[in-house]
Every structure is written in C-alpha cells, then in structure tokens.
Amino acid sequence: MPSVTRRAARSPEHRAAVVRQVTSAVERLLARGHAYTTLSVQRIAAEAGIARSTFYLYFPDKTALLMRVTESATEELFASSAAWVEHGFADLDALERTLSGVIAQLREHHALFAATMELAAYDEQVASFWRERLGGFIELLGARIEDGQRAGTIDAALDAATTAAWIAWGTERLVAQHVAVNGPSEDTRLAGGLAGAIWSTLGRSA
C-alpha cells in the first residue's frame, strides 16, 4: 500500500513550498558573500531547513538548482518586458518604466544573477539555459519589430532579428555591469538613457 506520508510529502503544495525555501536560502547565502561554487548541498539544505536527502528529491544537483532559482527570480522581469512589447511598444514612457523595473529586478537579485553568469562562462548547460531564457524574449521582440516595419512605424532598413538580439543582450549586459558598480541613485539615469537609445535604434522620435 502506498505511503500516505510519502505521497503528501510530494504533493504540489509541498513541492512548491520546498522550492521556495531553497530559493530563498540560496539568495540569502549569496547575498552574504558566499560564492555559489563553494556552497555545498549540505550548507544550502541546512539554510533552507530541509534534509540533504530532501534536497535531492527536488533538485538533481546544484546546477539544476541554480537554473531553477534564476528562472523563478527573473519571472517578473521577463513578464514585464513581454508586456511592454505586446502592449506598450509605441510608448517611450512605457519603455522607460519597463527598463526601470528591469534594473530594479536585477539589482534585487544581483548576487544570484552574477553567480548564474559566472557558471554560464564555463558550464554549457547553464549557458544554454540563459540563451533560451533570453531567446524567447528576442523572438517576441523581433516579431514586433517586423510588425512595426510593415506598418511603417519602425525603420525598414533594420534587420529585425539582429536588432532584437542587440537590444536584449545589450540591455542585459549593461544593466548587470551597472548594478555591480553603481548605486541605486544612478538607476533613473540609466533607464532614461537606455530607453532613448533603444527608441532611436528603432528609428523613432520622441
């Protein structure tokens, strides 16, 4: 007869709770200055208040954990960016507000994002994960640029795919560098400058 306790432990609600605990634990440890590569599963599990064996029920290894935590931490960032593309694409103010949110999100999760980029530099699994994560937005943006070109509102000479990739990757890298070396007082300036650069690239005028 199946164990009721074991079945309950693996319920969707319990799984979600454990993932939240581990996610929060990883971000706390990184914020304290721990390098992700030196964190042991036992240390992460202890910080999350779970057994090491429980950790492995939900994450096969630390790489899978990092990707899951990063995916969760960037959900709002990608959702707001997609919302701008779909609903605020012709609005410069909406673009600046969206970029302000992106900067705020990456600042909030800076230590986690830095750990992900560090691993992506030599771990193809992590690199592929992030390329796919950003790639979905690039495809959406590229299609929207093509729509604008057909409508005559965006410079027809632009290569839509290249432009979308430049906007996405350029913004990601610049914002990551910005939050690493500048304080929050500079965030408004960056959001405005980025918005203007993207707007001009698309061949629009304020």
Strands (E), 69-150: none
Domain range for 140: 70-201
pLDDT interval class at 8 (50, 70, 90): very low
User: Residue 185 falls within a domain, yes or no?
Assistant: yes
Q: Name the pTM for this structure.
A: 0.86
User: Residue 43 falls within a domain, yes or no?
Assistant: yes
Specify whether 42 is located in the same domain as 116.
no
Write out pLDDT tens, residues 25-39.
999 999 899 999 999
User: Residue 206 falls within a domain, yes or no?
Assistant: no
How far from each other are the two terminal CA atoms of the chain, in whole angstroms?
Answer: 69
50 in helix, strand or coil? coil
Write out pLDDT tens, residues 76-90.
999 999 999 999 898
Predicted confidence (pLDDT) at residue 5 exceeds the cutoff of 70? no
Specify whether 196 is located in the same domain as 119.
yes
User: Residue 92 falls within a domain, yes or no?
Assistant: yes
CATH number at residue 141: 1.10.357.10
Decide: 29 and 39 in contact? Cβ < 8 Å: yes
CATH number at residue 31: 1.10.10
User: Residue 42 falls within a domain, yes or no?
Assistant: yes
- CA dist list (Å): 165 to 49, 168, 182, 192: 41, 5, 25, 20
Q: How many domains does the chain have?
A: 2
Specify whether 103 is located in the same domain as 9.
no
Residue-level pLDDT at 10? 66
Residue-level pLDDT at 12? 78
Residue-level pLDDT at 174? 96
Specify whether 31 is located in the same domain as 77.
no
